[in-house]
Chain A
Amino acid sequence: MSELLGFSGVRQRFSGNQTLTLPDWTLQRGEHCLIMGPSGSGKTTMLSLAGGLLTADAGHVSLDRQPLHELGEAQRDRLRARCVGLIFQTLHLVSALNVGRNLALAQYLAGQTVDWDRIRTLLTELAVDHLIQRKPDTLSQGQAQRVAIARATVTSPQLVLADEPTAALDDRNCERTIELLLSQAQACGASLVIATHDQRLKSYIKTTIQLDVPT
């Protein structure tokens, strides 16, 4: 086991003199983790820092043993493309492209060659292969979420970051989604980090980081 993600002394300042202090934290390869806490406690911020979408104002974040604050923006984009799959709270599929091509786009932008076999297999595993030609606008919320999971894992990342993937789902769909996430992470040997305040996920992922609302 080796370290995939590390936070040390990270602090993030926002406008209005509000400072968010995040706990020190390391994540080993293949290890899963939940980031929990009430609204406004900094869960999304922590995911953004981990994925290199944000840089910390103080402290260090390292991803795949590379200190993110020392990298340029373009290098961070490359590192993210290589190592990280992102599932946002809002799913952010590209509306001009159909489902299959959204996945192909992720591979293309990550610098991989487009692998239609992998795309089809992945969509089949997630039971949305019949939607491959559909535009994202025409999908149901649950279908779009599964496509988003497929897109986050189609590049075989080492780290999958998911923000509130189950917040709007009933128990049955919550169960199905977390199982899909776990199985896809398993399939490509990735670590899964989920930011949520959904207590139901605790039974699936044992490691938890608890955040508190900043004072």
Chain B
Amino acid sequence: MSIWSLTWAYLRANALGSALHILLLALGVATITTLLLLDHQLDDRVRAETRGIDMVVGAKGSPLQIILSGVFHLDTPTGNIPLEDVRWLQEHPLVAQTIPLALGDSYRGFRIVGTEHALVDHYGAELAEGELWNGVHDVVIGATVARDAELELGDTFYGVHGIATGDGPVQGEVHDDHPYRVAGILAPRGRVIDRLVLGSVESVWHVHDHTSEAEGTEAIDRQSDDDHAHRHEHDDHGHNDHGHEDGHDRRHAHEHDHGHEAGTDGDEYHAGHEHHEDGEITALLLQYRSPLAAVTLPRLVNARDGLQAASPAQEITRLMGLLGVGLDALRLFGWILLAAGGLGLFVGLYNALRQRRYDLMIMRSLGARRRVLVGQVLLESLTISILGALLGLLLGHLAMDVLGAAFSQGRQLAMDGRLFLWQELQLFAGVLIIGILAALIPAWQAYRTPIATALTKP
């Protein structure tokens, strides 16, 4: 006989009530935990992915879309930018460094990105095996690509036409005339690069040069039904000179296209297919040479036909501002749940102990010391709170893991529930404090009732 066995007896005698208290508390804790994890990772990923990028230049369109497609590889791009604009930017005195991105194809739902070795440095990624790419057939793949697509060093594969947005494999034409060879595999970074296939810009052009040649000669392999609109567009403009006017119109048409069927494979097909025949790229990541550039460069870029400057910092702030309301609402909801759980625990224990006033009185009449009675009540309350908090933390991490795996954005940003935040300790401590209060108040009240009044009246 001890306060442990006494507590166990009481918990068992009211097993259903105890279980419900634990569950109620766990739900509140789980909601808060999930939000903490989501918030932290979103912030962390967003910060990490945009670090070192002062501006992203893409085709005219939504700056947010340019950031999402060019930095996070989540959305489809707004279009393409011609090489002469790229060169203008690369040679601009306000620009320190640029990294080109040429998108268009994917493999098993992972984007193939035509770029330069500098992108690997930008991500701070390191080769786990092999070497960086050379020529138009070599690619380096991220750790997740290697794992999920089961690719090993030296393996070859064919790209599929269409830009992946993380929603699984793209349904498109297989470029079976241009094999890629895995020249290197990157070590996992827990970042977007884990899910990318990196090659040279020229390799992407190479793939599509071929296609466009075929199309230019009205080859039969381009006769699929879903491509008619697109081919008309090309018939109109494809063989003209690629002056600014024309390029702008074309991109404009594409933007409309995008608006109507955003995210569909057909759209990606167009987006990916439209360019590259004359060596365009999709976006350019760039770093300013001086802070002054932030003031003037965006205006200069936006003034040029068909170009759109997007600042990651600004767009992310805007996005977080929008998301923030939702996150705040969710967080409030979580705290309300937690408060309800705490209040539930409090009310439950309070009622249980009020009903047990006689028991406490009997124990006092049997000579129980104060610390035994208070200790027993505390132990009971703490058992429920600790179990509730632990279960809640576990559920919260599980929920975050499921969320991270179930949503393409979660996958692309490498979110999961396998991390621990110090705020969770605070949460845990908070729950324990609720438990202690819930126990102490009724215990104190029980002590204020004279035993004689409680016991001698039938």
Contacts and interface: CB of A to CB of B under 8 A. Distances in A.
Contacts of B358: 92
Interface stretch (A32-40, A95-103, A199-207): A95-103
A90 B5 CA distance: 25
B367 A81 contact: yes
A81 B9 contact: no
B456 A48 contact: yes
A159 to B, nearest CB: 13
A208 to B, nearest CB: 21
B336 interface: no
Contacts of B366: 81, 86, 105-106, 109-110
Contacts, number: 77
B363 interface: yes
Contact of A96 (B10, B365, B370): B10
Contacts of A51: 365
Contacts of B369: 74, 77-78, 109
B1 A104 contact: yes
A53 interface: yes
Contact of A86 (B2, B365, B372): B365
A130 B333 CA distance: 54
B2 to A, nearest CB: 7
Interface in A36-74: 44, 47-48, 51, 53-54, 74
A110 B367 contact: yes
A166 interface: no
B455 A53 contact: yes
A107 B366 CA distance: 9
B359 interface: yes
A94 B456 CA distance: 16
Interface size band for A: 20 to 34
B368 interface: yes
Nearest to A163: B456
Nearest to A48: B452
Interface in B434-458: 450-452, 455-456, 458
B367 A54 contact: no
A108 B2 contact: yes
A89 interface: yes
B13 interface: yes
Contacts of B367: 77-78, 80-82, 109-111
Interface size band for B: 20 to 34
B359 A53 contact: no
Contacts of A106: 366
Given A82-B367, A111-B367, A92 B362 contact: yes
Contacts of A105: 1, 6, 363, 366
Most buried by A among B2, B363, B365, B455: B365
Contacts of B248: none
A48 B458 CA distance: 14
A88 B458 CA distance: 9
B452 A54 contact: yes
A90 B458 contact: yes
B458 A89 contact: yes
A114 interface: yes
B230 interface: no
A89 B366 CA distance: 15
B13 A95 contact: yes
B364 interface: yes
Interface string B362-397: 111111111010000000000000000000000000
A6 to B, nearest CB: 19
18 contacts: A48-B452, A74-B370, A77-B369, A78-B369, A81-B366, A86-B365, A86-B366, A88-B455, A92-B455, A94-B359, A94-B363, A95-B359, A97-B6, A105-B1, A105-B363, A105-B366, A109-B366, A110-B366
Ranked 5 nearest A-B pairs via Cβ: A81-B367, A96-B13, A108-B1, A53-B452, A48-B452
Interface of B: 1-2, 5-6, 9-10, 12-14, 358-359, 361-370, 372, 450-452, 455-456, 458
Given A94-B359, A101-B5, 4 more contacts: A81-B366, A82-B367, A86-B365, A105-B6
